[in-house]
Structure 1
Amino acid sequence: MNKDSYIQLLEKPELVSQEQVSDITAIIQKYPYFQSARALRLKILKNQESYKYNNELKITAAHTSDRSVLFDFITSKVFKEVSQQEPKITLKEKILPKRKPTKVTDVEEDLAIGKPLSFTKNETFSFNQWLQLSSKKAIIRTSDDNKPLEKQVDENPEQSEQDAIIDRFIKTAPKISRPNKTIVSDVKITENKQNNPLATETLAKVYLEQKKYDSAIQAYKILSLKYPEKSGFFADQIKRIQILQNNK
């Protein structure tokens, strides 16, 4: 791919095609941190509805210095536009008979698991949830005689901060005074709105891709309360997720 062709794709990414994927992949292999090339590859995978897209999004984010720029690109109108060209059927797809799907695969297809995640401009929380790294597991190191020497603790920064707060609380040893029974106090019960503004269908799909089934179910329950007109659809989604849970 020459310089002029590449600049044209940067100016009009909707023109990128499957035929150019090998050229763009070659550029990425030579320059791993070439962010615009990775963005164009994402566009190709999105157009193909490829199962590789979701994982490639994480890899691209890891090679991007400013993830807000990446987020703006994948939520732009240009990125979401799909070429009107008909998808090509490979010789392998023509020859091999279609495999009869099992119950679980039917459910996964209905839940669109493996399909590219599509974020909107107001779904930065869902986007960050998708990109979050899993916390490190505890590692027990052993000596030659198989005796444990040390244990590596979870290095999740959020967890460490919570532990520090608990430690400070224990050190100060605050005393809680007993309430005066003669004084009647009004207790205001507030509605629990935790995660309500953040719950979206995309977030539920993010949890599904991460196999956090309980979180996905909770997200759909919140959505059912937010959008009663779609409660039937969300209830069906919950039933499908429960099937996956029972077949783990």
Structure 2
Amino acid sequence: MVIESATDLFEVLDQFDPNSSIHLKALEVLVDEYPHFHLIQPYLLKAIQQQKHEKFDKTLSLAAISTFDRSLLYSFLENEEPSPSQNTKEIEVPKEEVETQKTKTKETASPTTMRFSEWAYFLQSQKHEEKSKNLEEKFQLIDAFLSKEPSRFSPKIEDKNKEDLSELSWASTDELMTETLAKVFIKQKKYDKALQAYQILRLKYPEKNSFFADQIKTIKRLEKKKD
């Protein structure tokens, strides 16, 4: 079979059978003639996966480079229903063995030696682990910082200016972090930076302006005593 027109091509794609040697040959000829025709790359790869396993890795590399979304390529290769000509028997594998095999593949395999399904799983797990690791490291840094002197972050509320603690329940993370930072600056006697922090809070949270204004007055009094 020779693909000589768009009609021939769409006929092959509509009736595509990855186990058909005729379709495989026609697609190979077309790719040789038009190597940058990306539409047919996944179909050729699927046919090679079923018939010419020795060419699969090389063709996979080319198809993966030309595919804008590799997850679609993965779904096309791995998730389609098997052809009726493939008489396969489902074998139940114990869950423990599956988990062991996943762990073994994850620890020992590299992207250059994996099958496509393993390679896709590897990429997805690497991204997930990297995000989890970055998030975990951030939390560890925060915990380490807070554990050094926890009393440093205990708010001191004067009798004349007792704030309703229920307001803290809806305060944003930015507010709490900035106010905590201001308290650290006061403890370190860096009053200029503490004033700057409370000025930022006044602008961002005008509904608590009176509270922040009182804090600013307190800092200014401390600054005068320092001088």
TM range (shorter): 0.3 to 0.5
Which fold has the larger relative contact order, with Cα–Cα distance below 8 Å and residues 6 or more apart in sequence? 1
TM-score, normalised to structure 2's length? 0.37
Structure showing greater radius of gyration is 2
